Amino acid sequence: MGLILGSSSPIRRTMLDQAGVDYEVVKPDCDEDAVKRTHDGGAASLAPTLAKAKALSVAADADDWVIGSDSVVAVDGRLFDKPTDRANAAEHLRVFSGKVMELTSAVALVRDGNVDWCHHETARLHVRVLSDDFIDAYLAAEWPEVSYCVGVFRMEGPGVTLFDKMDGNYFTILGMPLLPLLGALRDRKVIAS
């Protein structure tokens, strides 16, 4: 029995590494845009749908466990994708300025082609008012690292300076509800309890 992380996210790998979890990485073969086009619901249901789809898209042996995870950002009810380029990232930051960003992160476990478990949490991040000068300087320092980040920030880096206040679990904000995942892995005897 093996454990596979179906994600190309460096922060998700770091979280599992720091928790001492033994796993391998396989990039998911999931068309996220197709999932989003067919999804009927908001951010709170889209994140788990994407997490499940990613885990299900990974080719694995029948007794392997596959972790799929995704995060979705909404501001004023509008869903945001990862920025397409630096100008698009600046546009996102201008929209986020002075507003509450709702970040929903989900994680799913799949075995033998079936979703066995899924969990999601939403954090509310209060973005401070961002000046154009700040946005330019921030992206000069953080681009292209934040190009893979749906909220245009890395909490483990200067992204923390975007916010006045955060309500929610730190690991959820990083991009994966780690503590519930570790509990699910212990329950399934994938990691030691």
Which structural domains are found in the chain, ordered by start?
3-187 (3.90.950.10)
187 is catalytic: no
Residue 14 has pLDDT above 80, yes or no: yes
Q: What's the whole-number average pLDDT of the chain? A: 96
19-31: average pLDDT: 96
124-128: average pLDDT: 98
13-27: average pLDDT: 97
C-alpha 186/C-alpha 33 separation (Å) is 33
Beta strands in the chain (DSSP E): 3-6, 24-25, 65-75, 78-80, 100-111, 114-127, 163-167
Specify the pLDDT at position 157: 87
C-alpha 167/C-alpha 175 separation (Å) is 14
171-181: average pLDDT: 97
Whole-prediction pTM value? 0.94
Q: Identify the weakest region by mean pLDDT among 2-11, 123-132, 181-190.
A: 2-11
Determine the number of helices (DSSP H) and then strands (DSSP E) in the chain.
Answer: 7, 7
The pLDDT tens digits of the residues spanning 46-95 come to: 999 999 999 999 999 999 999 999 999 999 999 999 999 999 999 999 99
In the set 22, 61, 70, 81, the catalytic residue is 70
Specify the pLDDT at position 84: 95
Interaxial angle between packed helices 132-142 and 86-96, expressed in degrees from 0 to 180 and rounded to the nearest 10: 130
C-alpha 74/C-alpha 152 separation (Å) is 12
